[in-house]
Amino acid sequence: MTHEEMEQRIIGLEAQVDMLMRMIMSPHRNNADPQDHALETRHPPTGDPSMNESMLNTFSAKQIATVQLVVNGKSTHEMGEILGCAESTAKVHIRGYMRKSNTTTRHKAGLHYRRLIHKMSAEKHFELTEVEIDWAQDPSKYPSTTSMLKQKVR
């Protein structure tokens, strides 16, 4: 097998993994199997808790919010509406998270985030990020955080 053929196979496999991750992470699954949830949480944390905390601390609040929205299956358009910004701005935030986490797709970024916060308390998460750990599930539940996230920064 040539190097070029190997690269093409890898690209195809990555696309298949991305599709499977979308299926696993989608909150709109029909007839959800409890084992599906096990697939989502089977990955261990990325290291010891203090390393996870220091890494989580490197992301901006908007990067955390956008990756939470990815985990909750939101489209870029929906992210822009929720954050009160253009789709392109939401993409900038998620790409920033991807760059800092060394991930190549938004779905891998979502998995990375889930591993970082595995077993983290809601209080510690808020202390490190200024965003509630469950903010993306219902932004209207946290009006002050949502308002802060919608502010334009120049």
**Could you read off the pLDDT of 104-138 as tens digits, one per residue?**
999 899 999 998 888 889 999 999 999 999 999 99
Domain count of the fold of the chain: 1
**Could you read off the pLDDT of 44-60 as tens digits, one per residue?**
344 566 777 878 888 99
Lowest-pLDDT choice from 2-11, 27-36, 88-97: 27-36
**Could you read off the pLDDT of 141-154 as tens digits, one per residue?**
999 999 889 887 76
Residue 135 included in any domain: yes
* 142/128 Cα distance (integer angstroms): 17
Give the three-class secondary structure for 27: coil
Residue 27 included in any domain: no
Residue 18 has pLDDT above 90, yes or no: no
Residue 12 included in any domain: no
Residue 139 included in any domain: yes
Q: What is the pLDDT of residue 44?
A: 37
Q: What is the pLDDT of residue 152?
A: 79
> Which structural domain, as residue segments, surrounds residue 85?
47-150
Segment 21-25 long-range contacts (CB within 8 Å, at least 24 positions apart) = 21/105, 21/107, 21/108, 21/110, 21/111, 22/107, 25/70, 25/71, 25/73, 25/107, 25/110, 25/111
Residue 117 included in any domain: yes
Residue 21 included in any domain: no
Lowest-pLDDT choice from 7-16, 23-32, 105-114, 125-134: 23-32
Tally of residues, the chain: 154
Residue 132 included in any domain: yes
pTM (2 d.p.): 0.68
Residue 82 CB: number of other CB atoms within 10 A?
A: 21
Residue 14 included in any domain: no
Q: At 51, which CATH number? A: 1.10.10.10
